[in-house]
Amino acid sequence: MRPAVVILLLSVALVGCDPVPKQTVAERAAMEIETNEALTISHLRSMVSAQIQARSLNIVDTDDDRRGEFLFLDELSGARPTRTPGKGLRIPLLMNAFKYRSSGGYAGVHGYLYRLFLPGPGGTWVEAGETDPDESETHWRCYAWPRDYGGTGRRSFYVDVDGTVRAEEAPGLSGAHAPEADAALGGGDDGKEPVWAPCDA
């Protein structure tokens, strides 16, 4: 059978077939949000593991009491040296993407922005600079929120030293509108749904 005839027969056969259904724009957008949120939970789980590892290895010990302290985001990612001179990470404990900053100065990965805080002097929380060594041995907290609320994600996430990742839909958190360090204080956990806890692993 000649090729032209085969093509003609195939064309006739396909005329009555239903076209392959295509995703709508809304369905694709919803899938992107769902994917970004799942990846963000995974990144925060990795952050919990990285902090535990860094502390147990005593990578940072600014008061030299042989009790490891938790690390800033730039330290975990290898974007800058750790606070303790002469020590450091042989390899970063977070994926390379966390080294880079968005225009607002936040780490941006898979449609989400991140802020990690350690206890600072006088009961403050800081993202860099001087820390309270004793408090930094036992506390840290991190937030992740959509770069574009409704576009790259809907839920915002929070995790701290207890390792439980919590989520809350907060339309006010989007892009440069970032959570403050104390957003999880004073009953701020109310409404934050636990989406992963260490015992789930």
pLDDT of 9:
45
> Given pLDDT bands bounded at 50, 70 and 90, which one contains residue 201?
very low
49-58, 134-143, 188-197: lowest mean pLDDT where? 188-197
As a whole-number percent, the residues of the chain with pLDDT over 70 amount to: 82
> Given pLDDT bands bounded at 50, 70 and 90, which one contains residue 193?
confident
Q: Is the pLDDT score of 186 beyond 60?
A: no
Q: Is the pLDDT score of 148 beyond 60?
A: yes
Q: Is the pTM of this model over 0.75?
A: yes
Q: Is the pLDDT score of 194 beyond 80?
A: yes
Name the residue ranges covered by the structural domains of the chain: 25-200
Q: What average pLDDT does the segment 37-52 reach?
A: 97
pLDDT of 190:
52
Q: Which of 5-14, 34-43, 89-98, 183-192 has the highest mean pLDDT?
A: 34-43
Encoded tokens for 89: 């990470």
pLDDT of 8:
45
CA 122, 49, 111: angle at the middle one, nearest 5?
Answer: 85
